[in-house]
Chains A and B, each alone.
Chain A
Amino acid sequence: MKKSIYLGITLILAASTVLSACGDKSDKSSTETDKTQTATTTDTTEKTDTPAKTEDTPKKEEAEPFTVSLRHIQVSDAQKFRKAILDDVVKKTEADVPGLTIELDGVEDQVNRFTKLPAEMAAGNPPKIFDLFGGAGDALKYAKAGRLLDLTPIIAELGIGDKFLNLNQFTLDGKVYGLPIGGSTEGFFYSKPLFEKYGIKEPTTWDELEAAADTLSKNKITPFAMGSKGAWVPNMLVNTLIGRYAGPEAIDGFPAGSQAWNSPEVVAAFSKYQEWEKKGYFTKGELGLEYADMLNQFVTGKAGMMFDGSWRSSVFKDQAQAGDLTNQVGFFTMPGVPNGKGNQLAVNGNYSNGYGFSADLKPEELTAVKAFIKNMYSEEMQLRGLLEDGLLPSMKLSDESIAKVEDPIVKQVMQILGNSGGAFSHFDSTVASDVYKESESQIQKLIAGKSSAQEVADAMQKVQEKALAAAK
Chain B
Amino acid sequence: MKSTLKNPYVYAMFVLPTLLLYCLFFIYPMASSSFYAFTDWNGLEDYKFIGFDNFTTAFNDPDFRNAIVNNMYFILFSVFIQVPLIIFFAILVGHVKRFQGFYKTTVFIPSILSTSVIGILWGFIYEPEIGPLNKLLSVFGIDPIYWLADTKWAMFAVLATNAWQWMGFYIVLVLAAILAIPREVNEAAEIDGASGRQRALLITVPLIRPIISVVIMLSIAGAMRVVDIILVMTKGGPVGSTEVMASYLVNEAMGVDPNYGFGTAISLIIFAFALVLTALYQLTLGRNQGGND
Contact = CB atoms under 8 A, between A and B. Distances in A.
Contacts of B45: 144-145
A244 interface: no
B29 to A, nearest CB: 14
Contacts of A119: 43, 254, 258
B25 to A, nearest CB: 12
Interface string A424-438: 000000001110110
A3 interface: yes
B260 A122 contact: yes
Given A145-B45, A450-B151, A440 B10 contact: no
B4 interface: yes
A441 interface: yes
B60 to A, nearest CB: 13
B150 interface: yes
Interface string B241-258: 000000000000011111
Among B235, B238, B255, B256: residue with most chain A CB under 10 A: B256
Nearest to B148: A288
B4 A448 contact: no
A288 B256 contact: no
A287 B143 CA distance: 18
B22 interface: no
Interface in B218-270: 234-235, 237-240, 254-258, 260
Contacts of B13: 7, 10-11, 14
Among B42, B151, B154, B238: residue with most chain A CB under 10 A: B238
A142 B43 CA distance: 11
A112 to B, nearest CB: 12
B256 A145 contact: no
A17 interface: yes
Interface string B104-118: 000000000000000
B262 to A, nearest CB: 11
A448 B238 contact: yes
Interface string A1-22: 0110011001100100110000
A142 B44 contact: yes
B20 interface: yes
B254 A285 contact: no
Given A2-B4, A115-B255, A437-B255, A288 B43 contact: no
A17 to B, nearest CB: 5
A3 B6 CA distance: 11
Instruction: Give the dominant DSSP class at A's interface.
Output: helix
Given A3-B4, A6-B10, A286-B149, A437 B43 contact: no
Contacts of B103: none
B225 to A, nearest CB: 20
Contacts of B42: 122
A312 interface: no
A288 B10 contact: no
Q: How large is the interface on B (under 10, 10 to 19, 20 to 34, 35 or more residues)?
A: 35 or more
B182 interface: no
A147 B257 CA distance: 17
A54 to B, nearest CB: 32
A294 to B, nearest CB: 13
A289 B255 CA distance: 19
A163 interface: no
Contacts of B234: 288
Nearest to B147: A288
A440 B149 contact: no
Interface string A339-351: 0000000000000
B17 interface: yes
B14 interface: yes
B128 interface: yes
Contacts of A229: 149, 235, 237-238
A123 B43 CA distance: 7
B82 to A, nearest CB: 25
Given A141-B44, A285-B150, A437-B255, A14 B17 contact: yes
Interface string B125-158: 0001000000000000000001111110010000
Given A142-B44, A285-B149, A288-B149, A10 B14 contact: yes
B9 interface: yes
Interface in A97-115: 114-115
B16 interface: yes
A445 interface: yes
Contact of B44 (A3, A11, A18, A122): A122
A137 B20 contact: no
A203 interface: no
B284 interface: no
A2 B148 CA distance: 70
Given A122-B43, A137-B256, A145-B45, A441 B17 contact: no
Interface string A403-442: 0000000000000000000000000000011101100110
Nearest to B44: A145
A348 to B, nearest CB: 20
B131 to A, nearest CB: 11
B254 A114 contact: yes
Contact of B237 (A2, A6, A287, A432): A287
B16 to A, nearest CB: 6
Given A18-B20, A284-B146, A448-B239, A3 B3 contact: yes
A444 interface: yes
Interface string B3-44: 110010110011011001000000000000000000000111
Contact of B146 (A2, A288, A437, A440): A288
Contact of B256 (A437, A447, A450): A437
A229 B45 CA distance: 30
A450 B239 contact: yes
Interface in A271-291: 284-289
A297 to B, nearest CB: 10
A193 interface: no
Given A3-B4, A122-B260, A288-B146, A147 B44 contact: yes
Contacts of B237: 229, 287-288, 444
Interface in A48-78: none
A289 B126 CA distance: 12
A137 B258 CA distance: 10
7 contacts: A10-B10, A14-B16, A119-B258, A122-B42, A284-B128, A285-B149, A287-B151
In order of increasing CB-CB distance, the 10 nearest A-B pairs are: A288-B149, A122-B43, A287-B238, A285-B146, A285-B149, A433-B257, A437-B256, A145-B44, A448-B239, A288-B148
Given A122-B44, A437-B257, A441-B63, 20 more contacts: A3-B7, A6-B10, A7-B13, A10-B10, A10-B13, A14-B16, A114-B255, A118-B254, A118-B255, A119-B254, A119-B258, A122-B258, A122-B260, A287-B150, A288-B148, A288-B154, A288-B238, A436-B257, A441-B239, A447-B239
